[in-house]
Amino acid sequence: TATSTGSTQTLLTRGNGKDISPRWSPEGTSLAFLRDHEAKNQIFTIDPEAGEAQRVTDLADGVSEFEWTSSGRGFLFVARASDDHRLKHASDVADDKSENDPSNEPRRITTLAHRMDGVGYRDGRRNHLGVALLSGRIIQMTSGDYDHAQAALSPCRRYLAFASNQSGERDNERLTDIWLMDLDTDTLRRITNHDGVYGLPIFSPDSSKLAFVGHRVEAPYGPTNLDRVWIADLTSGRVEVLTESIDREMSNTCSGDSSYGVPAQRPVWSSDSASIYSLMSDHGNVGIIRIGSTGSWEQVVDGDREVMTFSASSDGQIAFAASDPVTPAEVFITENKGDQERQLSTHNAALLEQLSLSAPTRLEYQTLDGASVDAWVLEPIDRRDGVRYPLVLEIHGGPHAMYGNTFFHEFQLLAAQGYGVLYTNPRGSTGYGQEFVSAAMGDWGGTDYQDVMAGLDAALDEFDWIDPNRLGVTGGSYGGYLVNWIVTQTDRFAAAITQRSTCNRKNLFGSSDMVWTYSEWEFRSLPWDDPDFYYDRSPLAHVASVKTPILIMHSENDLRCPVEQGEQWYTALKRLNRETEFVRFPGESHNLSRSGRPDRRLERLRWMTDWFRRHV
């Protein structure tokens, strides 16, 4: 914690586990957070003035998200229920589960959405909402064979809002609606039209309106439609888009590897219920804007940085956590007009004094067909004039995400090892408007490949210290796909590292936990309708052209881009006697580089730097 002046900073929790998602009580006297107690996240509270953390919940499968109730006497939370849709205490579940463990029995699967990366098989169990009182009592608020998430309780305590899909097709699609429960009448109504993905509801202070974030899934942009802020008037029932005129995502879409446990940011109401604060991603930066009731808006917090999360006080002050390329996240405070900003925390100051970091140079370049694309270049640490250095091209995942002005540990490590680092936002990236983010739909391996390679050429033209004969390329997820694609199209790179990647888009449709939800949009068809196109845009179809030494790194529990994709790529390369190695990480999911076990995250970086050292 830190005082509003920044004069006092106090470390409240210690230990070997993870403490995440801190939340102040409404009166500001107690702090609640999630702690991984006995391998399950549970709600704990602590008095900042004295005392040890106290556990509030002991749910059998832990808590995935929570908020204080407006009274400060308990918490609204989301947790996974048992197969009878009941929330249970750990003590209600038998200690010895070995005989009843579903993993020991055959699984009967009847739905498309039957597993999730980082979660595993769902086994018909649902996420439900509950209230946990400080006494430890649990009150279940929802029921039925539906998932519920992102709950909010109105200040007047009459309404409960949440995100849920309660349609007959809920397990065969990825749409979500905003629902409103009237606690006085015990009635439930749907706020949205079941035409998109909506979430993060939050009530106005006067309880008359509900704000939320989301987008329609409709032609021509489908799931790439921009996230916008919506308003529902609870009296009239009218729902409208507040940010229709703002051609940017109303969310943080910046890619990084140095933050963990930061929940998605909800909109924040002003104390008079007249305006809303929201994050906005723009040209590699993430800032805070204030939006008026008519949709007019102004920037409140800007700059070359990533604002990760924020809150606002009743007197108009905004506290936020932000990072820039040479500074890991710190806490700041500003007035509601964005002036008189001051930094409250200096948690990383002692570490930064011991390090040499590379500040990026922004490079705007033109593609072959005239599009304007952003890139950034980190120089190697202690670069000397007249000496040429190797360069590593980094490619972000998504593709609907963006690189930007945030601290990226992997990039700084490469710079410290003597490499330049180039990272770009090719078309398909977020932060540049609707047309830009949707430009690669139906053309994976086309527009995006050309944009990334044009960025490499621009960097070579701009920076004479780059050695064109010592180039490396790496990326993860979609970035891994594009790495695989690149080495089938060119031999300009001395080495490549592909991470949590895909190589066969045709069979990935059926093996991934969610690729089936967007492939019809991204590839303009289903794989059985146009199998030739799916396979032609798969690196595996062109593997015989690979000449670049390539390291394959994959997590064995990755359900987003399953390890079988790495196996296919490795087997084909080995059969062709290409230079390749395959590193597999047991027990890790798709998010190894961001939230994996620390020793395995370090091991991943060791393999990366060793491969480039040997080949670049």
Helix, coil or strand: residue 412: helix
Which one, of 511, 484, 494, lies nearest residue 572 by Cα? 484
Find out whether 230 and 214 touch, Cβ atoms under 8 Å: yes
The dihedral of CA 516, 518, 523, 529: what is its sign? positive
Please calculate the CA angle 150-238-155 and round it to the nearest 5 degrees. Answer: 45
Residue 568: CB atoms within 10 Å = 20
Q: Residue 592: count other Cβ atoms within 10 Å of its Cβ.
A: 23
Q: Residues 566, 592: contact at Cβ < 8 Å?
A: no
| Whole-number CA gyration radius for the chain | 25
Question: Residue 531: is the preceding peptide bond cis (ω within 30°)?
Answer: no
Say whether 215 is catalytic.
no
Instruction: Name the active-site residue from 251, 255, 275, 477.
Output: 477
Q: Which residues of 196-235 are buried (b: 16+ CB within 10 A; e: fewer)?
A: bbbbbbbbbbebebbbbbbbbbeeebbbbbbbbbbbbebe
Name the residue type at position 147.
D
* 275 assigned to active site: no
The whole-angstrom separation of Cα 347 and Cα 340 is 21
Measured between its terminal Cα atoms, the distance across the chain in Å is: 45
Please identify which of the residues 396, 554, 590, 615 carries the catalytic annotation: 590
Q: How far is CA 522 from the centre of its chain?
A: 20
Instruction: Give 167's Cβ-side CA count (13 Å radius).
Output: 17
DSSP for 41-66? EEEEEE-TTS---EE---BTT--SEE
* Contacts of 538 by beta carbon, 8 Å cutoff, 6+ apart: 503, 504, 505, 506
Q: What are phi and psi of 32, to 5 degrees?
A: -110, 155
Tokens standing for residue 500: 């949590």
How many angstroms separate the CA atoms of 273 and 191, rounded? 19
**CA 316 and chain centroid, separation:** 28
Coil, strand, or helix at residue 91? helix
Q: What is the largest CA-CA distance in the chain?
A: 76
Considering only CA atoms, which of 487, 383, 342, 363 is closest in space to residue 425?
A: 363
Task: Report strand pairing: 209-216 vs 196-203.
Answer: antiparallel
Q: How far apart are CA 554 and CA 590, in angstroms?
A: 8
Instruction: Tell me the CA distances in angstroms from 521 to 225, 439, 444, 479, one per residue in order.
Output: 11, 12, 12, 19
Length of the chain, in residues? 616
Task: List residues with catalytic annotation.
Answer: 477, 590
